Structure 1
Amino acid sequence: MFDTMTTTKVVGGLCGTFLVLLLGKWAAEEIYHVGAVAHGDEEVAQAYSIDVPESGAGGEEEAGPSFEEVFASADAAAGERVFGKCRACHKLDGANATGPHLDGVVNRDIAAVGDYAYSEALTSLEGAWDPAALDGFLHDPRGYAPGTKMSFSGLPSVEDRANLIAYLESAGG
């Protein structure tokens, strides 16, 4: 079925293909070189550089209204739409899902749902879920309670957090 000539053709075809790919890679690197280029005695990177001012904390928010100011005029109806992001893991009917139920969560003690297995990160916290504590947790759950089981990355918008807390307060009995 296979004779010596067929095997030679197959091996030659593979080697030829490999050679074409190597030559193509070499040509592309010569045409689109992205590494540093030496100009005289100085080493210069071939790219545009954009000056970005360094911030002290890395991710500081822009100055804006405080949470208390936004929460005073929060819209529970808008918060119901934001709750759509929470609905996959939390319920408002008193039944636990992947996360604990959020029925009456505003001003409830932290880790107070008896039939839910909280992470040690939340059981070690003291106090209650007042609006300010909920704001901090919803902004950055892993930063507020390092080691939490909640995989949600947080709500960066202070308006969304305030509206969500107002909705939870109005819907939570």
Structure 2
Amino acid sequence: MLDTMTLTKAVGAFCGALLIFLLGNWAAEALYHSKAGGHGDHAAQAYVIDTGEDDSHGGAAEEGPDFATLLAEADVAKGAKVFGKCKACHKLDDGANGTGPHLFQIVDRAVSAADGFSYSGKLVAVADTWSIDNLNAFIESPKGFAPGTKMSFSGLKKEKDRANLIAYLQSLQ
């Protein structure tokens, strides 16, 4: 049977060895760490061999199609699914306002045209009509498009989802 003093010595020896290991690791990291970046970064290349070829792999990163192209290729059925995020507050029936105004014939409609809904002055001050560009910008970030708007939705970040949703709303005309 181990007495208390022997057990204390064993635990102390283990803790001391662990401390020495951690200090050794810290010292080695300080001595040999590359200045290329933080943890997990690879060291900068020591030298470059010029082969005469362009290393850009086609130049700047290829951007996706513009919003007009996405809208032309939009899928109305997928837009109906995306509308699922909106239907808690918005209705599609003409004149049936919910927490938000109805969205029947929203495309190219005047911003404050839904009868019986009280629009915030912030939204009316930013746009006159719900053009495709205005809808796209508003759906992407309502608070970014109209700071102070009553709409609490954070927005749809994917451009394809916005195009599908606007195509769906256009189909309801």
Please state which band the TM-score falls in when normalised by the shorter chain: 0.5 to 0.7
Rounded Cα–Cα distance in structure 2 between residues aligned with 1:144 and 1:49: 38
Contact 1:76 1:163 in 2 (8 A): yes
Structure 1 residues 49 and 150: CA distance shift in structure 2, 3 A? farther
Equivalences for residues 1-173 of structure 1 within 5 A: 48=40, 63-93=63-93, 94-171=95-172, 173=173
- Name the structure with the higher strand share: 1
The one-letter code matched in structure 1 to 2:79 is G
Rounded Cα–Cα distance in structure 1 between residues aligned with 2:41 and 2:106: 48
Once the two structures are aligned, what percentage of the paired residues are identical? 50
Cα RMSD of the aligned pairs, angstroms, is 3.1
| Deviation sequence 1:71-121 (CA, Å, 0-9, x none) | 011111110000000010000013111101101101101122131111121
Point out 4+ residue stretches in structure 1 off by more than 4 angstroms. 37-40, 46-50
Rounded Cα–Cα distance in structure 2 between residues aligned with 1:152 and 1:125: 18
The Cα of 1:48 is off from its aligned counterpart by: 4.8
Rounded Cα–Cα distance in structure 2 between residues aligned with 1:153 and 1:63: 24
Contact 2:97 2:117 in 1 (8 A): yes
Contact 2:74 2:164 in 1 (8 A): yes
Contact 1:110 1:125 in 2 (8 A): no
The Cα of 1:47 is off from its aligned counterpart by: 5.3
Rounded Cα–Cα distance in structure 1 between residues aligned with 2:80 and 2:127: 28
Q: Secondary structure at the match of 2:143?
A: helix
Q: Secondary structure at the match of 1:124?
A: helix
Rounded Cα–Cα distance in structure 2 between residues aligned with 1:122 and 1:114: 16
| Deviation sequence 1:35-70 (CA, Å, 0-9, x none) | xx7969xxxxx95569xxxxxxxxxxx831110010
Q: Secondary structure at the match of 2:163?
A: helix
**Structure 2 gap segments, 5+ residues each:** 1-18, 32-37, 43-61
Aligned length: 130
Could you tell me the TM-score, scaled by structure 2's length? 0.64
The one-letter code matched in structure 1 to 2:96 is A
Could you tell me the TM-score, scaled by structure 1's length? 0.64
Rounded Cα–Cα distance in structure 2 between residues aligned with 1:82 and 1:141: 16
Contact 2:127 2:134 in 1 (8 A): no
The Cα of 1:131 is off from its aligned counterpart by: 1.1
The one-letter code matched in structure 2 to 1:111 is S
